[in-house]
Amino acid sequence: MLQSMKNNLYVFFLFFITGLMSCSHHSGLYEHAEKIMSQHPDSVLTLLSTIQDVNDLSEKDRAMYYLLLTEAQNKTYVKPTSDSLITIAVEFFDKVVKIDDPVGAINVHGVCGALGTLFTGIFGEGCSFITQLIGFVAVAAYTLILAFILFFVLKKTIGLRVTEKEEIDGLDMHEHGCSAYANFHFHNDK
C-alpha cells in the first residue's frame, strides 16, 4: 500500500510539473528533475518529454535540459541514436592514424577537450574564438613536442615494448607472477 501511495505521489508530481510546463520558466521542473534523478531517471525522461520545443528555451534552460536528458538517458541505459564525436575519433585514430590507444585518452581528452575549448570561444560570453584557438594550438604543440622527446629518449634507452613472450603470456604473469584473469585461458594450446 505504501508503495502504491508513493507511485501515486510521483504521478501527481508529474502532472503538477507538466502543468508548470505551460509557464515559460522551467527552473522548477529542472530542480524537481535533479532531485528525483538518482531514484527515478525514467520519470525525469517523462518530465523532459513534456517540453514542447527545446529551441524556444533560453540558452541556460536549453543547456540544463540537455544536461538532464543526457544524465537520465545514461542512467536508464538509453543509447544515443546518432554517431558521437568519440566514435568518429576512435575510428580515425585507430584506422587512419593507426595509434593504439586502448583507454581512449586521445579521443576523450584530446579531441573532446579541443572541441570544448574551441566551443567556449564560440558560445561563451566574453571569450574569443581566436584566443581559444591560439591556446589550443599552443598546448597541442607543447604536448606533441614534449611527448616526442620523451618517447624518443625512452625508445633509445630502455625501449617501449616488452618481449614477444611477455606479450603472449601477458604482462601480469611476468610482473606479478600470476594471472589477472582467474580461470580464463587466452590460448587453447596451454
pLDDT for 8-36, tens place per residue? Answer: 566 555 555 555 444 445 667 788 888 88
Lowest mean pLDDT: which of 74-78, 145-149, 179-183? 179-183
pLDDT value, residue 182: 66
Confidence of residue 168 (pLDDT cuts 50, 70, 90): confident
Give how far Cα 110 sits from Cα of 26, 39, 88, 149, Å. 34, 33, 13, 19
pLDDT value, residue 143: 93
Contact 71/41 with Cβ under 8 angstroms?
yes
Q: Is the dihedral of CA 117, 118, 123, 126 positive or negative?
A: positive
Contact 112/90 with Cβ under 8 angstroms?
no
- 177: Cβ contacts below 8 Å, ≥ 6 apart: none
Q: If you write DSSP's letter for every residue of 8-68 in order, what string do you get? A: HHHHHHHHHHHHHTTSS--HHHHHHHHHHTTT-HHHHHHHHHT-S-GGGS-HHHHHHHHHH
- 167: Cβ contacts below 8 Å, ≥ 6 apart: 161
Confidence of residue 66 (pLDDT cuts 50, 70, 90): confident
Compute the distance between CA of residue 92 and CA of residue 159 in angstroms, rounded to an integer.
Answer: 27
Stretch 141-151: mean pLDDT, rounded?
A: 95
- What pTM value is reported for the model? 0.47
Compute the distance between CA of residue 11 and CA of residue 16 in angstroms, rounded to an integer.
Answer: 8
